[in-house]
Amino acid sequence: MTDKPFSVGGQALIEGVMMKTPHKVAAAARTPDGKIVRTKKRYVTRTERSWFYRLPIIRGIVSLGEMLVVGIKMLNWSADQQAGTNEKMSAWETSVALILSLGLTVALFIIAPYWLARLLTETRGTVFNLVDGLARIVIFVAYVWAIGLFSDVKRMYQYHGAEHMTVHCHEAGKALKPENVRKYSPVHPRCGTSLLMFVIIVSILIFSLVKDPRWYVNVPLRVMLVPIVAGISYELLKLSARWPRNLILRWMMLPGLWVQKITTKVPAKDQIQVAIVALEEAL
């Protein structure tokens, strides 16, 4: 896909963008007075510290956990820029935000689909698992569509598009200028949205292994399997980036690319400028 020596990842923030390279995390945001502020720090993942953290599936669990924590901190930083403050998020605040976000994820995408499947079918076999998985997909798509109706989230979806377009421009080896960035698609195959769709697809297969009909056993077991599901999904996303022409991986990627039509919007020039600043800082 690119002759660059490393890949770049990112995330939309509140009126801003975060970009990550192998050893740096940087963010840029536009303040209410129109200025672009920026921050960056050195980032060394645990996968570089031990061979164990580099094992397949394990590396995915570790990397996703690290980026969840970094993402929450950068979201907090971008919110502070809108409020005119520059307070750092404490370890306690980060932990609370992490627990709340994980709790919401479990409630929406594990507990709710499970109970919906129980209401619609008494079967504990293939039919039950298909209904459970379909419910998970419907809830996810409905969720990202519904929150996109809010003006603030619409803005974040535009910054999400700006992030992807800027990364595309960088991977194509073009100069990071708004006129160049505008030529690229806001959809990117390595997006977290695509990863979440991989997670949903893999979860249908993995959760089918849990045969216990008792909800108080079945649901906790599903929660415990989430890291494994995430780790496998991470490996599939990496494989799809390495072999984009593989027919099976391409079919598995399609749902994520479709959902990105909701979670990314074409950005304005001033939003692209913010994404460019963030990537230049990360590079």
SS3 label, residue 86: coil
With both helix axes pointing from N to C terminus, report the angle between 112-120 and 215-242 in degrees, rounded to the nearest 10: 110
In a domain, 208, yes or no: yes
Q: What is the DSSP letter of 122?
A: -
Q: What is the DSSP letter of 90?
A: P
User: Using one digit for the tens of pLDDT, what is the confidence trace for 67-117?
Assistant: 988 999 999 999 999 887 666 666 777 778 778 888 888 899 999 999 999
User: Using one digit for the tens of pLDDT, what is the confidence trace for 171-209?
Assistant: 999 999 999 999 999 999 888 888 888 898 899 889 988
In a domain, 26, yes or no: yes
Interatomic CA distance for residues 267 and 176, integer angstroms: 15
Inform me whether the pLDDT recorded for 5 exceeds 50.
no
Residues 6+ apart with CB under 8 A from 8: 19, 20, 21, 167, 170, 171, 279, 282, 283
In a domain, 1, yes or no: no
Say how many domains are in the chain. 1
In a domain, 264, yes or no: yes
SS3 label, residue 48: helix
Contact 168, 191 (CB under 8 A): no
Inform me whether the pLDDT recorded for 123 exceeds 70.
no
Interatomic CA distance for residues 215 and 208, integer angstroms: 14
Inform me whether the pLDDT recorded for 244 exceeds 60.
yes
Backbone angles phi, psi at 48, to 5 degrees: -95, -5
In a domain, 250, yes or no: yes
* Domain range for 200: 9-282
In a domain, 2, yes or no: no
In a domain, 99, yes or no: yes
Q: Output the pTM of the full model.
A: 0.89
In a domain, 234, yes or no: yes
